[in-house]
Amino acid sequence: MSVVANRSRPQRKPRPAPPTKEQVLNRLKRLEGQVRGLQKMVEEERDCREILTLLSGVRSALEATGDIIFETYLEECQADLAKGQGDTRAIVEAVRLLRR
């Protein structure tokens, strides 16, 4: 008995919708609250481990938010390029900004 391999292309999962401006702003507001929490912890002379734990979370959340903003920007640049309206220099500049 022979097994016939399925040669059809696997279906891609639909990409999640890009975050809305409101969702990004909500993330930033949460980050703002976390930073205020850090300030309060320092003022109260809380344990360094607690402060560093929250600081690590803030860093991760900020990086994730930056990634979302960057990905959205690149998708917009790619759409512009596909329409013949974009310029690859904008993408190069965005990557340079991210490296700083």
Output the DSSP codes for 14-55: PPPPPPPHHHHHHHHHHHHHHHHHHHHHHHTT--HHHHHHHH
Neighbour tally for 79: CB within 10 Å? 11
**What pLDDT is recorded for position 44?**
97
pLDDT at 33 over 70: yes
Instruction: Give mean pLDDT, residues 43-47.
Output: 96
Which residue is listed with tokens 């329409």?
Answer: 83
Question: For residues 83 and 54, which has the higher predicted lDDT (pLDDT)?
Answer: 54
- Range among 19-23, 27-31, 76-80 with highest mean pLDDT value: 27-31
Q: How confident is the model at residue 9 (pLDDT cuts 50, 70, 90)?
A: low
Query: How far apart, in whole angstroms, are the C-alpha atoms of residue 26 and residue 92?
Result: 28
**Sequence-distant (≥ 6) Cβ neighbours of residue 78 within 8 angstroms:** 86
Rounded to two decimals, the pTM is: 0.66
